[in-house]
Chains A and B, each alone.
Chain A
């Protein structure tokens, strides 16, 4: 548990936040009348691409799990393909969950699916980067006392806070304020984004404050 680790964590998280902010402002230079609410789907796509890209780059640069050995190209390719499949599966999985939560089955399919994509971007992509396509490891990280490094700890916090943000984002939908952002799924995607950003901000701070108590199995 070194302070440098926490610092690195903080910088990577700041970069992620920066990518979200970029996804809000950059498209307006290229696209006519771009705004988050009106061209929501476009923004969803752009945001998810940006966040994925930043996550991948950070993963390649920072290499949080240093234990990974040098391995053959074919292994890497299969691993990458597996990751893609996992990502797609997680999108469908989230889509199914939204429908179970009451999202319309037939109308607004594209909206619901893109919402699933962005939520996967916020949750599954970091998981894939950090843990690889290993469901058991995922389950371990997301159960009590299962984390083994600050990276996993921050992953746990950001993912859970994205879920909570999404969950809370559904609350304004029944209110009769007639605001444009109450339309499905805008409030939920915004909630997910806020949750993700909040998680990115909170996790380094929380880890910093609790650095005395935190002792991981491996360290």
Chain B
């Protein structure tokens, strides 16, 4: 089958996306689940164990508390309550911690430290998988067994105020609720006032059992200005007064009813030193947890230090406190201090219930549960417990009873701890089979791409894909049979519960066919290459191609970057790698320019290949690549040495200065956003601009940037899109002014902050308009096929539409990133690529490198916390999944996408050869699939690394997203290429 190399590359990347998706599905393990989820309600609670004597306690124990108030403060780090900040700003809470009837804990959250998974963990007691981060944007209803559902089934009346996420997780559970959206991060008063305004009314009423309050303000302050901002103190003081209000109200009610109530103060996750969350620093993991109730009476002098517990322990404790069955998937153990005041028999009953639940979960998730130490401990304590009950029912000697009781309790607590620990460890189990299938697919595609380099980069940009002949070959059927047999064996073996086996047989068969076909294609390509290699080596007239320094640098840089992905620090600081490479690239370009400028006449290399001779031996293996890469630029230097001569005086100076201008731009951008981990806390321009004191400076900068963007973009647009662009950029400024980021000159202070929906939609309309004009031009160029410039204009318009969208979505302090990106593109086009006549492959790779660097210049990192979710809500009233995800993805990957689309428009406008675009597409696909394939293999081998969750997994998600975007870009390339060839 004959394919253009662009089409071929696009197909390869699409297959690669499938492989990566399969790998991701296998890599992010499904959380520990109880299979008996549905019939759990009907299941009777475990009866009290008893040796011989029959116990009369078979029902669930009654609730310990009449009312429960859960006050969840988003981002409540432990030291905000127990540290110096707590003492300073939360006097009432500190009093309760030190002297009041309360138990305080430092609850350790697990990764990912993002709100929705943490709410799930608090309410179900289970550990949601890492993949929940991705679903954080659209939280579907929680189907897992949890405290809220249990409470609803038990007829409790619940009220909720606060973060909307809860309402989405528990859609029909609350008798009354008021959700506030958490996506306007800059607002930290209204979100909390929305919760507090209901409080007086609700506390007076007595018609509820559970009240849940989720305060978002603290977290928002953290995101905007960090944990050391003075605003934190104000917010903590406000929270303290609210806590006091709730507590006094509960106490006064208790005086009438004489039944204790429970007030829970907790945080969902902490806050890193920069104010974000999502990763695994101690500050993000440790949250405050306080249980306050008059049942926890304490004598004077009884000092209780905050103990370290797991966040998941709260679910079991709440269930026991409310007299509910413990959620089936909970891996937490009861916080024992809460039941310490109860009689011994009740204490043991609670512990037993918890241990039964945990051991059942263990049975369902670990095949060899009988050998687990926790299970053995549990069996032992259950036996002892039975003895204790018998003695108790026989009303035996109280001394013996007391001692035995203490022993049983200790045993139970040990068993609970061990069980909980081994269950938490269960989560980290990988679905190796799916991962393997995905990896094989990706690697086969990569091999195919590598092997087809010589053909794909030839002048015709077409290649023979050896697909049909091998499909009917013996090898294909053999491979298919072997794979199917393997599939059957793996999937029918006892303990596997993998995703790939869960697929229907047809789908799995399809994947098998794909894998074996790819294998055959790789094999035949290999065979062909060997045959070709023999032919070439026999042919002495084969021209020697030279590697320019730039080619060497590009190859080494790609390799080096791939290798660097194996170290966690290099992943955390990947931006440094790219900045470094881009700088070196600029210096190499500089060298090339200067050599071409000054040495052109006197030192044209004589045919003295002696120095190369030495390299040839070492680079013999690479020579094949070098020849094919340089086929289309046969002796660039010697062929057109006068490229720089044609330039006029000032242009020559600009050519000489351009690398330095670019380097300076990169240096400025680098100090705009500090990212990564080690140097993220350094002061940077972005924070300085974003702080509220420098609003005037920010406004001037934003306005200037928008003007420069217009000046740089408009030069190649048609008149309509010029006007649309101007209006759109004006709309961007209005939008930023409306949401209070920047000021109009006539506006002294920002009083009325709105969501800016109208302004943003105004800009959206122009974006769509420009994109539509561009598409129309492209279609016209295809139909009429008369005018080449129409197509160029159309591509540029699509590019400028994307620029406008990026300008809308970028935070105002990031607008210079866009400006510099446009500036560098303009300079490189005019003064480097055109005069030096680089070939399509080199230009593609330079675009890719700059795109990657700009990804980090924007302030992104390989950490989930730096994703700017607020970009997904620009111009939207309510949460809408598809546009929100699209906008967020575009805002995050704006750098690479803009550079890629610039590449398309540059190549189709500048180069005369028709094959440039398909060469570029092929190179882009190749250079993007290198890191992702390497990373998949690396991550598989490092899957038990300490930092697998905090460093490697987020990067894997980024890589998955990146390959998806690459696929989109390649398909776009191919579409453009098709129109090119047809016209």
Interface residues of A (CB under 8 A from B): 97, 99-102, 105, 136, 139-140, 142-147, 167, 170, 173-176, 206, 209-210, 213-215, 217
Closest residue of chain B to A101 (Cβ to Cβ) is: B583
- B972 interface residue per 8 A CB criterion: no
In angstroms, Cα B256 to Cα A27, docked, is 85
Tell which of B193-201, B602-610, B718-726 binds the partner. B602-610
Some 22 contacts from A to B, beta carbons below 8 A apart, are: A99-B667, A100-B583, A101-B583, A102-B583, A139-B598, A139-B599, A140-B599, A143-B599, A144-B546, A145-B605, A146-B603, A147-B611, A173-B576, A174-B570, A174-B572, A174-B576, A174-B678, A175-B567, A176-B678, A210-B613, A213-B610, A215-B608
- B670 interface residue per 8 A CB criterion: yes
Which residues of B618-676 are within 8 A (CB) of A? 663-664, 666-667, 670-671, 676
Chain B residues positioned under 8 Å from A140 (CB to CB): 599, 602-603
Q: How far is the CB of B423 from chain A (nearest CB, A)?
A: 31
Chain A residues positioned under 8 Å from B580 (CB to CB): 101-102, 170
In angstroms, Cα B666 to Cα A100, docked, is 8
Chain B residues positioned under 8 Å from A214 (CB to CB): 610-611
Q: How far is the CB of A139 from chain B (nearest CB, A)?
A: 6
In angstroms, Cα B591 to Cα A142, docked, is 9
Q: Is the CB of A100 within 8 A of B570?
A: no
Given contacts A136-B599, A146-B599, 13 further A-B contacts (CB under 8 A): A100-B663, A100-B664, A102-B580, A140-B603, A143-B595, A143-B603, A146-B603, A174-B678, A176-B568, A176-B569, A206-B614, A213-B611, A214-B611
- B886 interface residue per 8 A CB criterion: no
Q: How far is the CB of B736 from chain A (nearest CB, A)?
A: 29
* Interface residues contributed by chain B, number (CB under 8 Å): 35
Closest residue of chain B to A147 (Cβ to Cβ) is: B611
Q: Which of B569, B579, B591, B610 makes the CB contact (< 8 A) with A102?
A: B579
Q: How far is the CB of B543 from chain A (nearest CB, A)?
A: 17
Chain A residues positioned under 8 Å from B568 (CB to CB): 176
- B505 interface residue per 8 A CB criterion: no
- B573 interface residue per 8 A CB criterion: yes
Q: Is the CB of B678 within 8 A of A217?
A: no
Closest residue of chain A to B608 (Cβ to Cβ) is: A145
- B139 interface residue per 8 A CB criterion: no
Closest residue of chain B to A212 (Cβ to Cβ) is: B610
Q: Is the CB of A175 within 8 A of B614?
A: no
Closest residue of chain A to B595 (Cβ to Cβ) is: A143
Q: Is the CB of A217 within 8 A of B606?
A: yes
Chain B residues positioned under 8 Å from A176 (CB to CB): 568-569, 678
- B775 interface residue per 8 A CB criterion: no
Chain A residues positioned under 8 Å from B583 (CB to CB): 100-102
In angstroms, Cα B594 to Cα A136, docked, is 10
Q: Is the CB of A213 within 8 A of B613?
A: yes
Q: How far is the CB of A195 from chain B (nearest CB, A)?
A: 15
Closest residue of chain A to B598 (Cβ to Cβ) is: A139
Closest residue of chain B to A173 (Cβ to Cβ) is: B576
In angstroms, Cα B617 to Cα A210, docked, is 12
Chain B residues positioned under 8 Å from A144 (CB to CB): 546, 605, 611
- B584 interface residue per 8 A CB criterion: yes
Chain B residues positioned under 8 Å from A145 (CB to CB): 605-606, 608, 611
Q: Given A136-B598, A143-B603: A210 and B614 within 8 A (CB)?
A: yes
Closest residue of chain B to A213 (Cβ to Cβ) is: B610
Chain B residues positioned under 8 Å from A174 (CB to CB): 569-570, 572-573, 576, 676, 678
In angstroms, Cα B611 to Cα A214, docked, is 7
Q: How far is the CB of B714 from chain A (nearest CB, A)?
A: 31
Chain B residues positioned under 8 Å from A97 (CB to CB): 587
Closest residue of chain A to B548 (Cβ to Cβ) is: A144
In angstroms, Cα B591 to Cα A146, docked, is 14
Q: How far is the CB of A152 from chain B (nearest CB, A)?
A: 12
In angstroms, Cα B583 to Cα A173, docked, is 17
In angstroms, Cα B613 to Cα A210, docked, is 9
In angstroms, Cα B903 to Cα A150, docked, is 44
Closest residue of chain B to A144 (Cβ to Cβ) is: B605
In angstroms, Cα B579 to Cα A170, docked, is 12
Q: How far is the CB of B453 from chain A (nearest CB, A)?
A: 24
In angstroms, Cα B663 to Cα A147, docked, is 29
Q: Is the CB of A213 within 8 A of B678?
A: no
Q: Given A100-B664, A170-B580: A139 and B605 within 8 A (CB)?
A: no
Which residues of B794-829 are within 8 A (CB) of A? none
Closest residue of chain B to A210 (Cβ to Cβ) is: B614
Q: How far is the CB of A68 from chain B (nearest CB, A)?
A: 21
Q: Is the CB of A175 within 8 A of B569?
A: yes
Closest residue of chain B to A172 (Cβ to Cβ) is: B569
Q: Is the CB of B576 within 8 A of A102?
A: yes
Q: Is the CB of B667 within 8 A of A100?
A: yes
In angstroms, Cα B579 to Cα A48, docked, is 29
In angstroms, Cα B576 to Cα A217, docked, is 43
Q: How far is the CB of A207 from chain B (nearest CB, A)?
A: 10
In angstroms, Cα B546 to Cα A145, docked, is 12
In angstroms, Cα B592 to Cα A142, docked, is 11
Closest residue of chain A to B613 (Cβ to Cβ) is: A213
Chain A residues positioned under 8 Å from B670 (CB to CB): 102
In angstroms, Cα B667 to Cα A107, docked, is 16
Closest residue of chain B to A174 (Cβ to Cβ) is: B573
Most buried by A among B576, B591, B664, B670: B576
Q: How far is the CB of A143 from chain B (nearest CB, A)?
A: 5
Closest residue of chain A to B660 (Cβ to Cβ) is: A100
Chain B residues positioned under 8 Å from A139 (CB to CB): 594-595, 598-599
In angstroms, Cα B663 to Cα A145, docked, is 28
Most buried by B among A102, A105, A142, A175: A102
In angstroms, Cα B567 to Cα A192, docked, is 24
Chain B residues positioned under 8 Å from A146 (CB to CB): 599, 603
Chain B residues positioned under 8 Å from A175 (CB to CB): 567, 569-570
Chain A residues positioned under 8 Å from B567 (CB to CB): 175
- 5 closest A-B pairs by beta carbon, nearest first, are A174-B573, A213-B610, A145-B605, A175-B569, A100-B663
In angstroms, Cα B469 to Cα A193, docked, is 58
In angstroms, Cα B584 to Cα A13, docked, is 29
In angstroms, Cα B281 to Cα A65, docked, is 61
* Chain B 766-788 interface mask (CB, 8 Å, partner A; 1/0): 00000000000000000000000
In angstroms, Cα B598 to Cα A206, docked, is 29
In angstroms, Cα B583 to Cα A99, docked, is 11
